[in-house]
Amino acid sequence: MTRYDLALIGFGGVNRALAQLIAGRGDELAAELGFALRVVAISDLRAGSLVRADGIDLAPLLAGEPAFAGLPGGSADPRTEQVIRGVPCDIVAEATFTNPADGEPALSHVRWALEAGKHVCTTNKGPVALHGRALRRLAAEHGVSFECEGSVLSGTPVLRTARRLLAGLRISGVEGIMNGTSNYILGRLEDGVDFPEAVKEAQALGYAEADPTADVEGFDVQLKVMILANEVLGAGLRRDDVSVRGIARLTPADMRDAAARGLRWKLVGSAALREDGTVDARVAPVALPVEHPLASVSGPANAVSFHTDLLGAVTVSGPGAGRVETAYALLSDIIAIHQRHAVLEESLHG
Ligand code: HSE
């Protein structure tokens, strides 16, 4: 059976959840999918690095905060570049953090891996939003795949739906609710809870970031709109091309007024092709008619609607965050890599 050796870059919630899936469900997945997964390297800023060419025993690492120093093949030093470039493996699963201004350090991680001829799956928005086209070109030059389903709506299949399931349709626009924190807060404003209290709740429930600015001011959605515009509509947008307004000025009274008029306030990220082929992209609160497909998306749920010529609006709804949900995005990327390369192998050696 085909086996893929993985390097996990970052060993926080997401890659730990992926390790948990591999440790707990590896045999079931191999039987269903036709390939096995083995982790041969992990690099993490806090835990250090761990390299085992014969495969890492994951289960002991999943109880408590791991520290790799002292383990065979382990070091307190993350040795990130050395692990990514130097350790033989097939796929690099990148789940560190990203700076929305330049996409680093995730961007370098992705570049190093592609340059070393390794497939990459990442959950990071920065590299995809800011450099998606260049990274795809780099992957093609090296004959490998660059997959990033988790960069929009975690494991809910948005990018792959557009690329695969909507193939053959003309997609003229995309709009969505792409931030669970702000959607949760809007729901609580509708319940009469005031804004600061609703933010605190979203933080306590683990939806909002420790600093919720990017959630409530729309910057998190801005990156997702860039990704959708660039990956699905073929635009080449930069951050300045996507206007942003968040939800911080909305109040319970605004919610009541909207409800009285059959409307619901939502933070909508959208990108639409104009007649001349350019793309209009924005993030802003919009009072949607209650019958709009996005109006009924409540709580931390997310949804994206594609506007197509033959089907009209096609909407995908599901979780937009969460460690297990995002780990599933990485697994779905690995499945896509397998499917693409299994087909290539077959056509070469067939
Ligand atoms: N904090 C984000 C949200 C998830 O609330 O949807 C990561 O983009």
**Domains of the chain by range and CATH?**
2-154+324-349 (3.40.50.720), 162-320 (3.30.360.10)
Q: Residues near 217 by Cβ (< 8 Å), separated by ≥ 6?
A: 244, 246, 248
Report CA(336)–ligand 1 centroid distance (Å).
24
Pick the residue whose CA is nearest to atom 2 on ligand 1: 179
In whole angstroms, give the CA distance from residue 339 to residue 61: 30
- The reported pLDDT for the residue numbered 350 is 63
232: left (phi over 0), alpha (psi -120 to 50) or beta: alpha
pLDDT band at 207 (very low <50, low <70, confident <90, very high): confident
Mutate to test the pocket of ligand 1, among 199, 209, 247 (most ligand atoms within 8 A of CB): 209
Region of poorest pLDDT, from 96-100, 179-183, 283-287, 330-334:
96-100
Pick the residue whose CA is nearest to atom 4 on ligand 1: 321
- The reported pLDDT for the residue numbered 325 is 95
Q: Report strand pairing: 35-44 vs 302-308.
A: unpaired
- What φ, ψ does residue 296 adopt, rounded to 5°? -90, 5
Strands of the sheet with 171-177, listed across from one edge: 242-244, 279-289, 263-273, 171-177, 302-308, 312-318
Mutate to test the pocket of ligand 1, among 98, 124, 153, 179 (most ligand atoms within 8 A of CB): 179
Coil, strand or helix: which one is 31? helix
Pick the residue whose CA is nearest to atom 1 on ligand 1: 208
Question: Catalytic positions, please?
Answer: 224
In tens, the pLDDT along 67-88 reads 999 999 999 999 999 999 999 9
- The reported pLDDT for the residue numbered 211 is 85
Mutate to test the pocket of ligand 1, among 154, 220, 228 (most ligand atoms within 8 A of CB): 220
Work out the angle at residue 321's Cα, subtended by the Cα atoms of residues 315 and 326, and round it to the nearest 5 degrees: 100
Report CA(249)–ligand 1 centroid distance (Å).
19
Report CA(272)–ligand 1 centroid distance (Å).
23
Which atom of ligand 1 lies nearest, measured to the CA of 214?
1
Residues touching ligand 1 (Cβ under 6 Å) are: 179-181, 207, 209, 215, 220, 320-321
In whole angstroms, give the CA distance from residue 31 to residue 262: 50
Which atom of ligand 1 lies nearest, measured to the CA of 184?
5
Look at residues 234, 291, 292, 236 and name the one whose alpha carbon lies nearest to residue 268: 292
Report CA(332)–ligand 1 centroid distance (Å).
19
In whole angstroms, give the CA distance from residue 110 to residue 100: 15
Report CA(59)–ligand 1 centroid distance (Å).
28
- The reported pLDDT for the residue numbered 38 is 98
- The reported pLDDT for the residue numbered 151 is 96
Report CA(31)–ligand 1 centroid distance (Å).
33
Question: Mean of the per-residue pLDDT values for the chain?
Answer: 96
- The reported pLDDT for the residue numbered 186 is 97
- The reported pLDDT for the residue numbered 108 is 98
In the predicted structure, residue 41 carries a pLDDT above the cut 80: yes
In the predicted structure, residue 146 carries a pLDDT above the cut 80: yes
| Beta-carbon count within 10 A of 177 CB | 26
In whole angstroms, give the CA distance from residue 96 to residue 44: 8
